[in-house]
Structure 1
Amino acid sequence: MSISEAGMRARHLQETALRYFFEVARCGSLTEASERLHVAGSAISRQIAGLEQALGTALFERHPRGMVLNAAGEILATHARRASLDAERAINEILALQGLRSGKVRIAASEAFANEFLPPLIVAFRVQNEGIVFELNVEPATQVSARIRAGDADIGLKFSSAPEKDIKVEYRQPAPVLALMRHDHPLAQSRSVTLAQMSAYPMALPAPDTTVRQMIDVECSRQQLLMESVLISNNMTTQHNFVLHGGGISVCGEVSVRHLVAAGVLVAVPIRDHGMGVRYIEVQTLVGRVLPQAVLSFLGCLKQRLSDQP
């Protein structure tokens, strides 16, 4: 075997080992990685052992229920993730040079944005960019940033109140909590309302693990205010329909009900209690990543649409 052939084979093996390592890191399980890669677990294990031998250090903590990255593994996983994303970007740019007008935009978004806000924006974008396809995953807010860090999404869209590691905030705007009600509700003509005023009426509230609910619970605790709900749901559309059918009041962010307010179907009234305006809409990407052209183009459209007044 010539020196050049040996070098090529070594690089190939290294790339294979990194790919196997990264999949185990993502899954946290050799068995699950084997199923996703369609490769025998023993082969994956050998590649990872080879990497550990070459680096002179273990990369995982082995547990009966899975494999967890140690400090060295975290460093290598960051490298592998960026290498994979850079390779994908290069391929997309080469295809664009060939005039194929193709590409994929992967979005992770919380429900508030996925149901009504993003679909029409995607449709409008594809009018001028027919070759671009989209992948939209609806996630809890806590998982949106995790998908960005893992390289599973190009753009994250969520409500946030604090900085996060390895996340670049491409766009940020205040997202105060509003009271949602019908035009015939007694509070509908108010310029603003308080939680105490709202508590006198039937309420539909989001689940306790949501950002909005946590903000309300903290403020009610501070005021020693008991706010009882007649409906608790983790589905935003359910809460909106509760209000539409005359059930009472709910709470929301402006973006999630922009279409309903613009159509004159419902009224969204600001809540003026302390703490109800500390939330922000964030558009997120991975720190240090060079984004593909299709993603950059859609990112510009997304920021413009968010900044539009209702």
Structure 2
Amino acid sequence: MLSTEIRYFLAVASTGSLSAASQQLYVAVSAISRQIQRLEQQVGAPLFERHPRGMILNEAGEIFAHHVRRNMLEMELAVAEIKGLNAVRRALIRIACTDGMAFDLLPTLMARFRLQNPAVTFSLQIASSSTVAGLIREGECDVAFQFSLQPERAVDVVASWPAPVLLAMQQQHPLAGAAIGLADLSHYPVALPQQGSTVRQLFDLTCHMNGIFIEPVLTCDSFATLWHFLLNTPGALTLCSQFTVLYQTDRLALKSIGINQLSQRTLQVQTPTGRRRSAALALWIDFVCEEITRQNQRVQPMWQDA
């Protein structure tokens, strides 16, 4: 349903060169070049910066590509509705999330949702916070789950819950039954996320403000790695929110350090601004919000009273 010029434009934009687009489309380079020039004449401005080794979108090209992709997404939704997918038959829900959401929460939610809606399928993309924010703003996913320190621009936040940074440890850990100060962590092996995560940002800020230095024995951008290290290392500690391990709380102890800076995050469920939701997506979001709220009420007393 796309014109030839638009298809060729998107191919060059994604591959970065006429020759790469030619290989992708099985079309001669000269034909692609003519269509790109024709499109630029219609738009009234160059869309690419042309270099000896390739072509890069310029500012006008970025604006044009953004609107083309948004229009494509709306077209896909319209076609899906026409085919009757509003009745929640076969439907794909595209999700973007940060790493902590992909460890336990989302796999469990997706499995439970599909018990009731087996025709619904999922595509899950795991990325950094900045990348997830870009994906949802550009409409390249249907819904995003991420921890946020501040309101996100140009997205609709359909639900949010406080997500303080907590200490996670084995249930028999010496600190599991004690009041914890930040300095207590220096006596145990601490495994931390890498510095780009919101957990690490808040923890490093808190240590700096309190004049305390904690040297981790392991840093990793995968919570699954931190989790297995925690389970297999005597006395180990790591950081997470209650949502990261929402369905694993019978296997560990969660503790609050009681420092305000570590309570600034929220877990947000985000959708692209102004985009109409399919019936399957609306059903998924309602299910997620209800299930997370219920499970959070179950888990909260475990660490608030600790």
Q: Which of residues 75, 78, 83 in structure 1 aligns to 2:63?
A: 75
> Does structure 1 residue 16 correspond to structure 2 residue 30?
no
The 3 A distance-change label for structure 1 pair 134 and 110 is same
Q: Letter of the aligned partner of 1:297 in structure 2?
A: L
- Distance of 1:307 and 1:268 partners within structure 2: 18
Kindly indicate whether the alpha-carbon contact (under 8 Å) linking 2:188 and 2:235 is maintained by their aligned counterparts in 1.
no
Aligned pairs for 1:36-115 within 5 A = 36-64=24-52, 66-96=54-84, 101-115=89-103
Range moving further from structure 2, 295-304 or 171-180: 295-304
The equivalent residue for 1:296 is 282
C-alpha deviation, 1:53, in angstroms? 0.4
Aligned pairs for 1:251-266 within 5 A = 251-261=239-249, 263=250, 265-266=251-252
Q: Letter of the aligned partner of 1:110 in structure 2?
A: T
Kindly indicate whether the alpha-carbon contact (under 8 Å) linking 2:194 and 2:220 is maintained by their aligned counterparts in 1.
yes
Q: Which of residues 218, 225, 245 in structure 1 aligns to 2:212?
A: 225
The equivalent residue for 1:148 is 136
3-state SS of 1:232 partner: strand
The 3 A distance-change label for structure 1 pair 23 and 96 is same
The 3 A distance-change label for structure 1 pair 163 and 37 is farther
C-alpha deviation, 1:187, in angstroms? 1.4
3-state SS of 2:258 partner: coil
The 3 A distance-change label for structure 1 pair 179 and 19 is same
- Distance of 2:132 and 2:139 partners within structure 1: 11
Output one character per residue of 1:87-107: Cα deviation in whole Å (capped at 9) or x when no partner. Answer: 111121122269792111011
Q: Letter of the aligned partner of 2:292 in structure 1?
A: L
The 3 A distance-change label for structure 1 pair 299 and 109 is same
- Distance of 1:303 and 1:135 partners within structure 2: 19
Q: Letter of the aligned partner of 2:229 in structure 1?
A: F
The equivalent residue for 2:193 is 206
Kindly indicate whether the alpha-carbon contact (under 8 Å) linking 1:95 and 1:102 is maintained by their aligned counterparts in 2.
no
C-alpha deviation, 1:307, in angstroms? 2.0
- Distance of 2:86 and 2:170 partners within structure 1: 53
Name the TM-score, length of structure 2 as normaliser: 0.86
C-alpha deviation, 1:277, in angstroms? 1.0
> Does structure 1 residue 236 correspond to structure 2 residue 192?
no
Q: Letter of the aligned partner of 1:183 in structure 2?
A: Q
> Does structure 1 residue 121 correspond to structure 2 residue 109?
yes
> Does structure 1 residue 273 correspond to structure 2 residue 251?
no
Q: Letter of the aligned partner of 1:140 in structure 2?
A: S
Output one character per residue of 1:230-254: Cα deviation in whole Å (capped at 9) or x when no partner. Answer: 1222221221222222241111111
The equivalent residue for 1:307 is 293
For these two proteins, the number of residue pairs brought into alignment is 295
- Distance of 2:268 and 2:246 partners within structure 1: 17
Kindly indicate whether the alpha-carbon contact (under 8 Å) linking 1:26 and 1:150 is maintained by their aligned counterparts in 2.
no
Q: Letter of the aligned partner of 1:157 in structure 2?
A: F
Q: Which of residues 158, 169, 174 in structure 1 aligns to 2:157?
A: 169
RMSD: 2.5
Q: Letter of the aligned partner of 2:68 in structure 1?
A: A
Which 5+ residue runs of structure 1 have no aligned equivalent? 1-11
The 3 A distance-change label for structure 1 pair 188 and 150 is same
Kindly indicate whether the alpha-carbon contact (under 8 Å) linking 2:48 and 2:58 is maintained by their aligned counterparts in 1.
yes
Kindly indicate whether the alpha-carbon contact (under 8 Å) linking 2:174 and 2:235 is maintained by their aligned counterparts in 1.
no
Kindly indicate whether the alpha-carbon contact (under 8 Å) linking 2:190 and 2:218 is maintained by their aligned counterparts in 1.
yes
Q: Letter of the aligned partner of 1:141 in structure 2?
A: S
Identity of aligned residues (%): 39
The equivalent residue for 2:302 is none
C-alpha deviation, 1:66, in angstroms? 4.6
Name the TM-score, length of structure 1 as normaliser: 0.85
